[in-house]
Structure 1
Amino acid sequence: MGVWRVRATGMALLGLTLVAGCGGERAPVVPAAVRAPVKVARCLLKYPDNRAGRTGRVRLARDIARYVGTRPGRIVYDVLDLVSKVRLGHGEHVQDLIAASGAKVDIVAALLQSRDDSLSEDELDLAERMIVESDNLAADAMWSLVGGTGAMSEFYRRIGLRETTPGPGAYWGGTKTSPADRIRLMKVLINGGKGLTRADRRLVLGLMGRVQQDQAWGVSAAARPGDQVTLKNGWTPRQFIQDTWAVTSYGRIAGPGRDLLMSVQTDQQWGEEPGIETIEGIARMIGSRLDALSPTTTRACPTNPTP
């Protein structure tokens, strides 16, 4: 037992010696981990650049006027983008240009407004043939169903088209309208009201979106790849006016960042093709430069002053 105490005591002293020796040395320095610099995202806000927008609109209107000056006949147009609220036009309230087959949309909408229930199968067939194929015989039949000139006058009054006059007698193609009224009609079809139900509006816009390919010219030239186009065109010879043509196009071009309504009307054209070329020339200029009419500028977020 005595020997064990001595040994234990010795071991304890040895442990104290070792601890004391360690305490006298400097501990090795372990380098701290190097942190990468933190990237702080800048706060940026977008503001409308009204000055640049006004400049863009003036330049576009000037360039369209120059283009129109090189084209035959009378040419008027109206444009409204529902997203940016940009609007421009020339002669948009001129009311004596005929709609020709563009009036077929009006006739279908008038019949829908007059009904408490949906159209019959035969009436739906007429509507499809009128708008998708631009069938004149179908339009004759539905003009009679609606009630002709008197009923159409009442329809225009109720829907708020103050610059549109129905054609006389059975001559629905002689309906006179303005580009501004074509825009008003499109707004009603899109936004609702005026006695047209959601189903009514879906039907008409759906038919306008299915116009057969050989009749899909006109304001569709403003479309970008992937944009959705709904339109109706009109074209007719006018032998009693120096054997010229009236050619019109109106509709909607919708896609990312835009919801563009456009109407271009012409008359006294040398033929159908010059009218189409003129409409598409205007539409193409507007479609390609629309974004420049409502530009934005980027600025740093304002900072709060330290009290």
Structure 2
Amino acid sequence: MTARHAARNDATSNRPRVMIFAGVTLVLLLATLVVARGADGWTGGTVPVADASRPTPSSSPSPDAEQVAEDARNKALADRLTALDTGGATLSVAVLDLSDDRAAQYNVKPGLTYDTASIVKVDILAALLVQAQDDGRALTEREKSYAVPMITESDNAAADALWEIIGGSDGLDAANARLGLTGTTAGAGPLWGLTQTTAADQLALLSQVFGNTSELSPASQDYIRELMGGISAGQDWGVSAAGDPTGLKNGWLERSVTGLWDVSSIGAVTIGGQPCLLAVLSKDNAGMDEGVSLVEKAAKEAASVMER
């Protein structure tokens, strides 16, 4: 037998083995597909790579973890603020980081409200702008002539004029229902400075002005931000002590019956490089200077809790 014949005979003799091997491979492949169909309910024409309905791991903190972190911030803030010498004044604080919604608050309780004094002027302007939006118009030059000094100089006569234009307490309450202020009640008659509010509601108001979701149009937001960013020298104290302020409004009022002072401050500040909203309310201060000092100390403590 020649070498050529031997090679041909070897190739011929190997054919059954190749065919048997291919047959076994095909059976194994079909068995795998049947198992895959039974396990995953696959009915398509190709082998499924992954089941999209299965949940994938998430890197976001769980709701429980977020609540634990917020509770820790609240405790840290309470520890710092209860250590302050308030001189008998009552204090309430709320802070929110706009970049990630981290928040902290102190002494924010149902039914515990504070006189707004002049911080309500931001609310009055927001109500005016909401009404103008509903009417499909811009503010008139007369309205602007009141709005500017009311915010930048805390002019009371200008606030009186706009209070009347918005419809007084009824107008403010109606606007606040739109703006999400659930714990604020407008002052009776002409007494806008005795509007009752909470630190949480003041954050809600600030969120309408500085947040991404708002009843206020972008143009209305820009207008309030511009005025709050131009507070007159001598009135730029308060939450500005917590960081670089981008918007500010303060309020102060001596109560005629007790001689004690309401001193409060709200605004947007940059804390640790992050944009934050901050409201510090106080009442029953021995004097305005004592109230300003207390508000600024509280603002700094709030900033220290929020810094990363």
Distance 1:282 1:79 in 2: 11
Letter matched to residue 307 of structure 2: D
Aligned to 2:103: 87
* Residues 87 and 53 of structure 1, relative CA distance in 2, 3 Å threshold: closer
Aligned to 2:87: 71
* Residues 145 and 193 of structure 1, relative CA distance in 2, 3 Å threshold: farther
Structure 2 unaligned segments of length 5 or more: list them.
1-58
Larger Rg: 1
Q: Is the 8 A contact 1:245 1:272 kept in 2?
A: yes
Distance 2:267 2:112 in 1: 18
What's the CA shift string for 1:241-267, capped at 9, x where partnerless? Answer: x21111110111036631111111111
Aligned to 1:96: 113
Q: Is the 8 A contact 1:104 1:130 kept in 2?
A: yes
Greater shift, 251-260 or 49-58, is seen at: 49-58
Aligned to 1:236: 253
After superposition, residues 235-254 of structure 1 pair within 5 angstroms as 235-240=252-257, 242-254=258-270
* Residues 155 and 243 of structure 1, relative CA distance in 2, 3 Å threshold: same
Aligned to 1:26: none
Share of identical aligned residues, percent?
33
Letter matched to residue 122 of structure 1: R
Matched, 1:111 2:131: no
Deviation at 1:193, TM superposition (A): 5.0
Matched, 1:159 2:179: yes
What's the CA shift string for 1:266-304, capped at 9, x where partnerless? Answer: 111101011100010011223245324xxxxxxxxxxxx
After superposition, residues 267-286 of structure 1 pair within 5 angstroms as 267-286=283-302
Higher strand share: 1
Q: Is the 8 A contact 2:108 2:199 kept in 1?
A: yes
Q: TM-score, normalised by structure 2?
A: 0.72
Deviation at 1:192, TM superposition (A): 5.1
Aligned to 2:225: 205
Distance 2:259 2:60 in 1: 52
Aligned to 2:141: 121
Matched, 1:264 2:280: yes
Q: TM-score, normalised by structure 1?
A: 0.72
Structure 1 unaligned segments of length 5 or more: list them.
1-45, 293-307
Q: Is the 8 A contact 1:79 1:89 kept in 2?
A: yes
SS of 2:94's equivalent in the other structure is strand
Matched, 1:222 2:242: yes
Q: Is the 8 A contact 1:84 1:258 kept in 2?
A: no
* Residues 249 and 124 of structure 1, relative CA distance in 2, 3 Å threshold: same
Deviation at 1:52, TM superposition (A): 9.1
* Residues 54 and 168 of structure 1, relative CA distance in 2, 3 Å threshold: closer
* Residues 61 and 232 of structure 1, relative CA distance in 2, 3 Å threshold: same
Deviation at 1:152, TM superposition (A): 1.1
Greater shift, 137-146 or 188-197, is seen at: 188-197
Q: Is the 8 A contact 2:207 2:214 kept in 1?
A: no
Distance 1:52 1:176 in 2: 30
Q: Is the 8 A contact 2:261 2:283 kept in 1?
A: yes
* Residues 83 and 169 of structure 1, relative CA distance in 2, 3 Å threshold: same
Distance 1:47 1:146 in 2: 44
Name the structure, 1 or 2, with higher relative contact order (CA <8 Å, separation 6+).
1
Deviation at 1:88, TM superposition (A): 1.4
Q: Is the 8 A contact 2:92 2:108 kept in 1?
A: yes
After superposition, residues 40-55 of structure 1 pair within 5 angstroms as none
What's the CA shift string for 1:76-115, capped at 9, x where partnerless? Answer: 1111112243221112245421101011111111111111
Distance 2:90 2:192 in 1: 21
Q: Is the 8 A contact 2:269 2:277 kept in 1?
A: yes
Matched, 1:184 2:201: no
